[in-house]
Every structure is written in structure tokens, then in C-alpha cells.
Amino acid sequence: MYRYDQYDHLIVRERIAQYRDQVRRRLADELTEEEFLPLRLQNGLYMQRHAYMLRIAVPYGLLSTAQMRMFAHIARKYDRGYGHFTTRQNIQFNWIELEQTPDILTDLASVEMHAIQTSGNCIRNTTTDEYAGVAADEIIDPRPYAELIRQWSTFHPEFIALPRKFKIAINGAVEDRAAIAVHDIGLTAVRNDAGEVGFKFMVGGGLGRTPIIGSVINDFVPWQHLLTYTEAIMRVYNQFGRRDNKYKARIKILVKAVGAEEFARLVEAEFADLKDGPETLTREEVERVAQWFNPKPYLTLPSIDPRAEHAGDKAFANWLQRNVKPHKVPGYASVVLSLKKTGVPPGDATAEQMDFVADLADKYSFGELRVTHEQNLVLADVEQSKLFEVWQQAKARGLATPNIGLLTDMISCPGGDYCSLANAKSIPIAAAIAERFDNLDFQHDIGDIELNISGCINACGHHHVGHIGVLGVDKDGAEWYQVSIGGAQGNESAIGKIIGPSFSAPQMPEVVGRLLEVYVKNRVEGERFVDVAQRLGVAPFKEHVYATPIPAGAKVGEDEYA
Amino acid sequence: MPNFELHSHKQIIKHREVVDDDWSVLKLVEDGTPDTVEVPAGKIIVPLKVWQAQREQLLGRAARKELGIWFASDELANTVKDDLDKFAVIAVDFPKFSDGRGYSIAYNLRKRLGYQGELRAIGDVLRDQLFQMYRCGFNAYATRQDRNIHDALKGLTVFSETYQASVDNELPLFRRHPRGALPEHSDLGAGI
């Protein structure tokens, strides 16, 4: 993975000194809270419901084991023994003292990490495919380009106070596993007829209160112009994005207002002045960065079927089927460690688990880990012959729930238990649904399904693109949940459609149950829930869900399902 | 009742020094219209709109180097692209420190239009913005008067290296320096 050189180290060190002084000035009241706010946000520090939350950047979701052990250390020393992996492939800690944040940053810098621009109205962490570099359908490895974007966007002087936050995702494979269509800029690698690499630029996608699928504004920008073309987009947005209304300030509103064609024209006009300028990428620079992502020292191994050796072990077979992904190198596989064990908030990991996965990665996966935007962890390079060992060890630590892509592999934001923006809780809803459908045979029968839960309209839980989407809303001071179906991420991205009036928390497991009944009744061979939902539309689902009243007796979040 | 206000700073930061300043910034008040406001004598920085409305009357003062203009954050640099050499100073207003349009105005004035003169940040200008303002082409800063201007000066020297090109550096880091040398002493995980 990328290693800091002397300049990366210098910049991060100077940032810590700057931030340490900002904290000192805030504590000495030389800075008002209003003035401190954007400064701390640009350093990932939020004031949450109970305490400060620190969001640490995991650039494009890639981690060394030393970095993971540092998270465990931070969890123990500065927090309450756990951390939360997010849909931005980052990690956040929820119980942080302001006075300690400069020290945390110093600790992080010792493993080449920081919290720069993990929040605030600036360019955030660029996300990518968790299987980058190992996926068989990869056109190019997107990670060097993600790293180049990271460096270019870090403290970009012109784009530090944008109208709103700005998120870039980059995909290098045929299949989009980075949800590029719902990002401010979504990039996908393409090759032209001459075999040259370039990027297709989508702009103006996003979720939140106005969910929009991004528009392609350029089918092929040669790789040399990746940064300059992005800069042109940023300058148009900085000048013309709305600032009068926070809810209409994202670039998607601008693209929608002027139209994608006109937006593209504005970008081209800016780009004309930047094209071939000094920020144009050179082969030498791309290769310098790319060398850190070179293929690992893979052994020459035969492809084996790990199932064969443990033919009678159904639990292992389930895990292989759901949590093990194909690898482009024969004899290897990628393993998803599930952070979705029933009873645990999605994406949470304890310090002990973090240390443990670091050990696993050292032993089995070249000392590297990845964070997925579905809030799981990945060991990308496991020898097939070691899968049984890995499974046994992961299982002992509660990290081998064979549910990847299944109903209980939910995306959920932290919701009202932590977040001061939330209108409703998310974690207890996720827990209640998980408990109701804990039966793995049932889940395997239902097959691939994405259930995404957000505690408010900001859509951190990506509910709009869930096959089933759950959105917490506030009605007269009470928490209610609105349900949508038919949303999808990836190449066929779609925004889900709302089925009707919202539900109380205790009704939610039954609502999901009824949706699944309609699916099971109507599916034909090989059809996923989302296929049926898109084929039939909302009507039959709505009819069944609202046909008879759903009892609202049980209390979600308590243990009556246990 | 004049339909404008004059704002002046005794001292500003210019070229990384605290210096005395004798300019006033004219701001229209309610009911003030750009074409009727009577620009008082002295060294005045007028709103861009006043320049556009009264260009003929103001040309003489501009020639005597007693006139500057200031951009509101929603105005675009290229609206005065043919007049840039006429102003002794161009200012850009930051109505709120969180409004970053002024950075793009500055960038465009310098990089696209080639403005060489004094470029002054006015409005909600605080220490922690100065470094990025400098990088985007500002060379003068009328910092907020309720704060210590000598403290603010420290904001200009936060970073000794930067990744990307801007007005201050034509070249990005990868073209300025050979990169890739890992630090000699690795303290990997020292904090654990």
C-alpha cells in the first residue's frame, strides 16, 4: 500500500501543529465555537449527541495491520473500546475528548494516518472498490489514482470552503462496486479503442433529501487530465453552487438546475485553461505512486476447491458461498469478515477484534486489510488452502457470520443513539430485523438482498439505494420509519420507491417479513428481491404490507426476540 | 444621509508584514444604488458595481491611483478583465469565513487574467484562512479588527510544503521535488 514519503510526513506533521494550536486557542477562548467549527470539521471532529466524534480517514479503504492496531489502541486509550466503520470506508470513534484530539492525531501520524478533510465543506475521502487490485473484472487498479486525488485535494487552497461537502468515488472494474452513480463525482476507468486508459466522469449524483443518479458529462478524459478536469469541475461548483440554502447546495442541484450539457460546457471552458498545464499527471508520477500498489508476492498455486476437503461441513460451505470472493490470481481468494453479527451495531468492531484481524491479515493476507462501503472488512489475498483455518479463527471471534450480501448484512448509520442529526434510531431497527431473520437457512433462501437503514434524510445509511430502504422520520416528536423498495447501487443504480405511510419501530420486522413474502411468492428462478421489486413495481408489495394491521406490541431494541 | 458607509483599517497585513493603511472600503447601505452614490474624495475601494455604473467619472481618480474596486463573493473575476490595470488595489470580500467563492475569484484574477497588483482580502478574514488566501493569490489581508493582527500573521506560515499547484506555486509538488524518499527513521506505530 502507499507509504508516506518525507513530504507526506512533513505535511501531516505541520497539520497536527496547526490543529493543536487551534484547539489551544479554542480552549483559551481566542476562537469562538462558531469559528472553531469549520476548523474542527475539516479535521473530522464532530460534536455529537453525547460527546465528540472523531472520523479518521482510511484513504480508499486500505489499511496496514499497523494502522488497524493503532485503531485498537485509540479505541482503548481514548474511547470505550470500540470503533465504527462507515460507508465512507473510514472509521469513527464516538467518545472523544477535545483536549485529546491532537494527541490522537500524533499517534495516527506515526502510522501514516490522519483525519484531514473527513468532514466539512471540502473534498472528502475518495472511496473505491474494496476488491481493487484483486478483482478479476478490473480494467485498471484505481488505487494509485485515488491516492493522487487524495494528495491533490489535501488542503486544496481554493476548495476548502465549498458550498457543501464533496465526495468522489472511483471504480476501476467492469462492475461498479464503489456506488459511483451516487457521488458528487463518480469516476470509472475506461479504455478507448487505442487501448489508452481514461476516466468516464459522472457528476451530480447523491442521496440525501434529493436523491439523484449522476449524469455523465464526459465519456473519456485521458488519465493525464484526471486532476485538471476534476479541478475544472470544482471551480465551476465553487463559483456557481448555491449557498443560500444548505439543502440545495450540493453539486447535484447545480447540475440539475443548469442541465448536464450546460454544466459540461462550463467545465470545458474552465478545463481549456488548465489542459496540459503543470497539474497534468505524468507517467513518472503515476508510476511512482502505483509502485506501492504493485501485485503482492503471490505464490504459484493450483486452484483448489476448499469445499472438497470439508465436504460435510455445511457451516463452512455457507461461509465459502457468502463471504469468500474470487481472486484474479489462481489459488487465492478474498475473504469478507462480517461486522454484521446479530446483536452488534453494523460496522462496529471492538479493540480486541481489531487486533485480531490485524493478526489474521499479517498471517494470511500480506499484512493488509480493506474497509468496505457496506461496513465490513476484507482480507484480500488469502490462499485457498488456508480458508478453513481463517474461517475457524474468524468464527471464534464473531467475525465469520456467513451473511455477506444477505438480509442481515445491513448498512446502517449510527442513528439517533449517537448522531445529533438523526430523527430516529437506526441501530435498534437493524437489531430487531436481524433478530427476527437470524435463521441462516431462511436468509440463504432469500438470497442477495440489500437492506439499508438511515436515521434521517441525510442518508448516511444509503437507504435510497437499498433493495429495501428504511428511513427514520420524525412525526410529532415520535420516531417513524418510511420504507422504499427497488433501489440499487452499482451499474444498475436506481432510487427506491416509497411504498406508503410510515411505520412504528416495533412494526418494522413484520413489514420486512411481508415484503419478503411477496417476493417469495412472485419470484422466478434466479430472480433477486430487487429484480422482482423492479419488475412488479410497488403495488403488490404495498397491498400486502398494508392489507391487515401490523401489531405494534413488541418493543424494538429490547430482547423479546431472544 | 449618505447612502454608503466607509470602512477602514488602521493596519493590514501586506506582503507578510503589518503595515499602516490609508484606504477606505465603500459599502452601499440600504437604498444606495451604484449609479447615484457619490464616491467621496480620498483613496477609496468601491464596489465593482459602482465602477461599472460610474466608470467614466471614476477613470480620472483611477489614473491618479486613488481608486480600487472590490468584488462581492457572487461576482466573477472576468467582468472587469479589460480594466484590471486601472486599479491601485483589488479587494475580494468574504462575507463569512465559510464562503469560499473569494478563493476562486482570486485564482481567476491572477491565473486567468494575469492581474499583478495588490489583491486584498476583506470582510470576515481570520488567521486560519490566511494561508489558503495567500496560496490563491492574495498579498494583502484586512483581518478582522476584533482580533490581534500580529497573531493573524502566524497564519501565513503554517505549512512549508503543499501538494497542489495554485497561484503561489506554478508547479505541483511532484514537479517541484523528486519524490519517494522514505524517512530515514521510521517510528511506525510509535504511539501504540
pLDDT in tens, A205-217: 999 989 999 999 9
Residue A561 pLDDT: 32
CB A426 within 8 A of CB A457: no
Structural element, H or E, at residue B8: strand B4-8
Pick the residue of B158, B174, B176 with the most A CBs within 10 A to test the interface with A by mutation.
B174
The beta-carbon neighbor of A73 closest among B159, B173, B191 is B191
CB environment A51-81: b (16+ within 10 A), e (fewer): bbbbbbbbbbbbbbbbbbbbbbbbbbebbee
**Number of Cβ pairs < 8 A linking chain A and chain B:** 138
Residue A165 burial (CB count, 10 A): 17
- Mutating which of B81, B148, B179, B182 best tests the A interface, going by the most A Cβ atoms within 10 A? B179
pLDDT band at B69 (very low <50, low <70, confident <90, very high): very high
Smallest CA–CA distance from A279 into chain B, residue? B172
**Residue A554 pLDDT greater than 80, yes or no:** no
Site from A158, A224, A243, A279 to mutate, B interface, most B CB atoms within 10 angstroms: A158
Give the pLDDT confidence score for residue A445 in this predicted structure. Answer: 94
Instruction: Provide the 10 A C-beta neighbour count for residue A464.
Output: 27
Extended strands (E) in B15-144: 17-20, 24-28, 44-47, 67-71, 89-94, 118-123, 140-141
Candidates B101, B84, B161, B22; CA nearest to A244 is B101
Judged by CB atoms closer than 8 Å, whether chains meet at A6 and B183 is answered as yes
pLDDT reported for residue A43: 93
Contacts of A154 in chain B (CB under 8 A): 163-164
Nearest to A7 among B158, B166, B177 (CB): B177
Residue B60: exposure state from Cβ atoms within 10 A (0-12, 13-18, ≥19) = exposed
Contact A121 B175 (CB under 8 A): no
Query: Side chain identity at A58, as an amino acid letter?
Result: V
CA–CA separation, A30 and A52 (whole Å): 20
* β-bridge partners, A62: A370
User: Is residue A94 packed enough to be buried (19+ CB in 10 Å), middle (13-18) or exposed (0-12)?
Assistant: buried
From the list B135, B160, B175, which residue is nearest A157 (CB)?
A: B135
pLDDT for the residue B186: 61
Residue among B126, B160, B174 minimizing CB distance to A10: B160
The Cα A186–Cα A373 span in angstroms is 15
Task: Return phi, psi of residue A307, to 5°.
Answer: -60, -40
Flag if A110 and B182 touch (Cβ within 8 Å): no
Asked if residue A48 has pLDDT above 90, the reply is no
User: pLDDT band at A87, cuts 50/70/90?
Assistant: confident
- Tens of pLDDT, residues B9-68: 999 999 999 999 999 999 999 877 999 999 999 999 999 999 999 999 999 999 999 999
Best CA proximity match to A529, nearest among A469, A456, A454: A469
User: Are the Cβ atoms of A6 and B135 closer than 8 angstroms?
Assistant: no
pLDDT for A560 beyond 70:
no
Helix, coil or strand: residue A52:
strand
Mean pLDDT of A50-76: 96
- Please determine, for residue A562, whether its predicted confidence score (pLDDT) is greater than 60: no
Cα separation, A510 vs B177, in Å, equals 62
Q: B51: distance to nearest CA of chain A, Å?
A: 22
Running DSSP on this structure, what letter comes out for residue A62?
A: E
Find chain B residues with C-beta within 8 A of A22's C-beta. 128
Q: Are strands A168-171 and A127-128 parallel, antiparallel or unpaired?
A: parallel
| CA B134/CA A496 separation, integer angstroms | 46
* Nearest CB to B136 within list A14, A39, A157: A157
B183–A69 CB contact, under 8 Å:
no
CA distance A126 to A150: 7
Between strands A185-191 and A168-171, the pairing is parallel
- CB-CB neighbors (< 8 A) of A73 in chain B: 191-192
Q: How far apart are CA B128 and CA B156, in angstroms?
A: 9
- In angstroms, rounded to a whole number, what is the distance separating the alpha carbons of residues A317 and A315? 5
Closest among A516, A492, A411 to A453, alpha carbons compared: A411
For the cut 60, the answer to whether the pLDDT of residue A314 exceeds it is yes
The answer to whether A111 contacts B188, with C-beta atoms less than 8 Å apart, is yes
Q: Do B162 and A285 touch (CB under 8 A)?
A: no
On chain A, the residues whose CB falls within 8 A of the CB of B131 are 157
Q: Grade residue A557 by pLDDT with cuts at 50, 70 and 90.
A: very low
All 3 cell numbers of residue A386? 488456508
* CB within 8 Å: B182 and A22: no
Site of grid cell 468515488: A169
C-alpha cell at A341: 453479527
Return the closest-CA partner of residue A96 out of A156, A53, A64. Answer: A53
Task: Say if CB A152 and CB A113 are below 8 A apart.
Answer: no
Q: Would the pLDDT of A221 be above 70? A: yes
Q: Which stretch of A273-287, A408-422, B72-86 has the lowest confidence by average pLDDT? A: A408-422
Q: For A40, name the nearest residue in chain B, comparing CA atoms only.
A: B128
Beta-carbon separation of A14 and B158 below 8 A: yes
Instruction: Say how many C-beta atoms besides its own lie within 10 A of residue B63's C-beta.
Output: 10
* Minimum-distance CB partner of A10 among B161, B182, B189: B161
Q: What are phi and psi of A166, to 5 degrees?
A: -140, 125
Please tell me the number of Cα atoms within 13 Å of A211 on its side-chain side. 25
β-bridge partners, A377: A337, A371
Are A278 and B101 an interchain contact pair (Cβ–Cβ within 8 Å)? no
- Minimal-distance CA residue of chain A relative to B76: A239
CA distance A412 to chain B (A): 30
Please give the Cα distance from A392 to A356 (Å, whole number).
13
How many CA within 13 A on the CB side of residue A166? 25
List, in sequence order, every beta strand (DSSP E) within A192-290.
Answer: 197-203, 215-222
What's the 3-state SS for A426-487?
CHHHHHHHHHHCCCHHHHHHHCCCCEEEECCCCCCCCHHHCCEEEEEEEECCEEEEEEEECC
pLDDT of amino acid B32: 78
Overall average pLDDT of the A160-168 stretch: 97
Instruction: Determine the Cα–Cα distance for residues A149 and A146; give it in Å rounded to an integer.
Output: 5
Residue in chain B closest to A148 (alpha carbons) equals: B163
Burial of A377 (0-12, 13-18, 19+ CB in 10 A): buried
pLDDT of residue B191: 64
Chain A positions in Cβ-Cβ contact with residue B174 (cut-off 8 Å): 282, 285, 288
At B1 the pLDDT is 64
**Interchain proximity B159–A39, CB inside 8 Å:** no
How far is the alpha carbon of B74 from chain A, nearest alpha carbon, in Å?
7
| Average pLDDT for A523-548 | 96
- Distance (Å) from the C-alpha of residue A334 to the closest C-alpha of chain B? 26
> pLDDT band for position A558 (50/70/90)?
very low
- Chain A CB contacts of B103 under 8 Å are 157-161, 238
Q: Are A182 and A461 in contact, with CB atoms under 8 Å apart?
A: no
The per-residue DSSP string of A150-169 comes to HHHHTT-TTSSS-SS-B-EE
Q: Which of A4, A238, A278 sits opposite B172 (nearest CB)?
A: A278
Contact A248, A242 (CB under 8 A): yes
Please give the average per-residue pLDDT across A135-157, as a whole number. Answer: 96
Q: Which residues pair with A170 in a beta bridge?
A: A128, A187
Task: List the single residue in B with minimal CA-CA distance to A160.
Answer: B100
* pTM value > 0.90: yes
Question: Measured between alpha carbons, how far is A393 from A358 in angstroms, rounded to an integer?
Answer: 13
d(CA A147, CA A164): 22
Rounded Cα distance, A255 and A181, in Å = 14
CA–CA distance, B170 with B165 (Å, rounded to integer): 5
**pLDDT mean across residues, chain A:** 94
Kindly state the cell numbers that stand for B64.
491618479
Query: What average pLDDT does range A62-85 have in this prediction?
Result: 97
Q: Point out the residue among B112, B128, B171 whose CB comes nearest to the CB of A39.
A: B128
Which ipTM value was assigned to this complex?
A: 0.95
User: What letter would DSSP give residue A185?
Assistant: E
> What does the DSSP assignment read for A84-152?
EE-TTS-EEEEEE-GGGHHHHHHHHHTTT---TTSSSSSB---EE-TTTTT-TTBSS--HHHHHHHHHH
Which is higher by pLDDT, A456 or A551?
A456
Q: Chain B: nearest CA to A340, how far in angstroms?
A: 27
The residue-averaged pLDDT of A525-541 equals: 96
Chain centre distance of CA A326: 21
Out of B104, B163, B187, closest to residue A110 by CB: B187
Cα–Cα distances in Å, from A550 out to A231, A258, A468, A505, A513?
52, 45, 18, 11, 11
Which of A145, A153, A234, A239 to mutate to test binding with chain B, by most B CBs within 10 Å of its CB?
Answer: A239
Contact A296, A250 (CB under 8 A): no
Closest listed residue to residue A15, CA positions, set B73, B71, B161? B161
The residue of chain B with its CA nearest to that of A17 is B158
Tell which residue, B162, B158, B180, B179, has the closest CA to residue A152. B162
> Is the pLDDT score of A553 beyond 70?
no
* pLDDT value at A11 more than 60: yes
